[in-house]
Structure 1
Amino acid sequence: MSFLLETTTVGLLNKFLEGTLFEHKLIANNIANIDTQGYKAQTIKTNNKFTALIDSLENTQSSASTINRVKDWVPEHNIQTDSTANKIELEKELAKLSKNVIHYQAILSAKSKLNNMLTLAIKEGKS
């Protein structure tokens, strides 16, 4: 039964949640080290691997193969330090944190709506 609910979309949303959580931890670490001498803010450099995954999924015929490909996919988190900044700017980090929280909430909302649609489909549209 759980295989029926394991869709490519759910897998992708879970990967998005993992990435957003990772970024949240990175920003929180920057804020925690705001007074640490010599500490440079860390950011994640995004890559185009996600785009490559989407392109490869569009060319896949089998849904089981697609689900497995999404499960096996691990996003790369290229952490970079801001070598030009002398000090971490709290306002900048708080803005990034707020943006990240909004992304996280949007992904959770999408997962909830998808779950509602699957539940409705299983119940054949009956309340």
Structure 2
Amino acid sequence: MSLLLETSTVSLLNKFLEGTLLEHKLIANNIANVDTQGYKAKTIKTNNNFTALINSLDNSHSSQSAINSIKQWVPEHNIQSDSTASKIELEKELAKLSKNVIHYQAILTAKSKLNNMLTLAIKEGKS
């Protein structure tokens, strides 16, 4: 039954959660090192495949290739340091942390709603 519930949407949501969790850890690490001399803030490099997926939903071929690219994306391989900043700005990091928490909660909500829809479909609409 778990294979049945492992749809492309679930896989993508899991990948988004993985990236969001790593981003949360990086932001927390940035905050912890706010007073460390020479420390450069770290973040996950934006993946253009996420934007491509959103922009190509009408075209099934490019949409599928974008989905496959995202499934293969490894957030840990996309960590980068902010070489332009001379010092970590605490307020900026706290704002990023708040945004990231909201993003994470939204993905969890989407997964829960998808699970509810799949459960309802399996039960054939019966409560």
* TM-score, normalised relative to structure 2: 0.81
Root mean square deviation of aligned Cα: 2.7
Q: Does the alignment pair 1:41 with 2:41? A: yes
Residue 48 (structure 1) shift: 1.4
> Match for 1:95: what amino acid?
A
Return 5+ residue gaps in structure 1 as ranges.
Answer: none
Residue 90 (structure 1) shift: 0.8
Rounded to whole Å, the distance in 2 between the matches of 1:12 and 1:33 is 32
Any conservation in 2 of the 1:11–1:71 contact (CA below 8 Å)? no
Partner of 1:59: 61
**Percent identical:** 79
Partner of 1:74: 73
Residue 45 (structure 1) shift: 2.1
Any conservation in 2 of the 1:43–1:80 contact (CA below 8 Å)? yes
Partner of 1:110: 110
Pair 1:70–1:123, CA change in 2 (3 A) = farther
107-116 or 72-81: bigger deviation:
72-81
Return 5+ residue gaps in structure 2 as ranges.
Answer: none
SS at match of 1:59: helix
Residue 70 (structure 1) shift: 7.2
Residue 87 (structure 1) shift: 1.6
72-81 or 92-101: bigger deviation:
72-81
Pair 1:50–1:126, CA change in 2 (3 A) = same
Q: Does the alignment pair 1:90 with 2:90? A: yes
45-54 or 79-88: bigger deviation:
45-54
Pair 1:42–1:7, CA change in 2 (3 A) = same
Deviations 1:85-115 (A, max 9, x none): 2221111000000000000000000000000
Rounded to whole Å, the distance in 2 between the matches of 1:71 and 1:46 is 12
Pair 1:91–1:48, CA change in 2 (3 A) = same
Partner of 1:20: 20
Residue 20 (structure 1) shift: 0.3
Paired residue total = 122
